[in-house]
């Protein structure tokens, strides 16, 4: 059952997790999924289109929504997208993307950086 949470969602008054805008994006997904489940290519196209209109920062919210709604395919898809978006980027880019701040002590980050210097080669421009 993909949508056990949805029923609850509608019954539930307290909806911090899912704003309306997000809900309108996520909820129609299963129908679409089912309709074009057989055809991978169409699905990809659909997903690409969907994402073109979505700001990177919104992806985080989409993930939260998908998580809350317990919707595995959407969660997988959004997470994959985010992973692809950040996989080759600098640490600062990633922080900006998620709106995070570094909470490391000054020495700690230095250490981490040195440990695996090789992995930071060839990182994309921000």
Partner 1 sequence: MQHQNQPHFSADAPTTPCAGPTVTFSSAAADHKRGKKRGSYNCGRCGLPKKGHNCHTSTTTTTTTTTTDTTTTSSPIINTPTSRADSSVSLSSTRPPPPRQPYTHLRRALSFDDDVRAGFPEPEPEVEEEEQEEEDFGYPSMDPEPGALPASCLWEILRRLPPAGLLSAARVSKSWRETSKRLWKAAEELRLRVPARAQVGFVGSVLQKCPGLVRLSLRMESDLDATMLACIAFSCPNLEFMEILKSDTAINRINGDELGRFVADKRCLKSLKMEGCSNLGGFVLCSSSLSTLWLSDLYSLSKMVFNCPNLKEISLEFYRQENDSTDLTTMVDGLGRNCLRLQNIHIASVRLSHSAVLALTAANLRGLRMLSLVLGSEITDASVAAIASSYPNLELLDLSGSSISDSGIGMICNVFPETLSRLLLALCPNVTSSGIQFATAQLPLLELMDCGMTICDPNSQNGIPDESSDWELRNTANHLIYQKLIIKHGRLKKLSLWGCSGLDALYLNCPELNDLNLNSCKNLHPERLLLQCSKLESVHASGCQELLIGTIESQVR
The site for partner 1 (CB under 8 A) is made up of 40, 60, 63-64, 67, 75-76, 79-80, 82-84, 86-91, 94-95, 98-104, 109, 112-113, 115-116, 118-124
The single residue listed with the structure tokens 């169409």 is 42
Give the nearest distance from C-beta 24 to partner 1 in angstroms. Answer: 20
Question: Of 27 and 79, which CB lies nearer to partner 1 in the complex structure?
Answer: 79
Closest CA to 20 of 55, 65, 74: 65
Question: Of 6 and 62, which CB lies nearer to partner 1 in the complex structure?
Answer: 62
Helices then strands, each counted (H, E), the chain: 8, 0
Name the DSSP letter for residue 54: S
C-alpha–C-alpha distance, residues 83 and 78, integer Å: 9
Give the nearest distance from C-beta 51 to partner 1 in angstroms. Answer: 15
């Amino acid at each position: 059952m993909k949508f056990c949470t949805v029923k609850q969602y509608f019954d539930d008054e307290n909806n911090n997790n899912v704003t309306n805008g997000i809900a309108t994006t996520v909820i129609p997904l299963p129908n679409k999924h089912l309709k074009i489940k057989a055809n991978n290519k169409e699905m990809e196209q659909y997903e690409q289109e969907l994402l073109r209109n979505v700001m990177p920062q919104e992806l985080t919210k989409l993930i939260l929504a998908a998580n809350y709604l317990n919707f595995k395919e959407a969660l997988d898809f959004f997470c994959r997208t985010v992973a692809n978006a950040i996989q080759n980027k600098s640490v600062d880019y990633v922080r900006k993307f998620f709106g995070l701040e570094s909470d490391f002590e000054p020495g700690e980050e230095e250490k981490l950086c040195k440990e695996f210097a090789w992995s930071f080669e060839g990182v994309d421009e921000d």
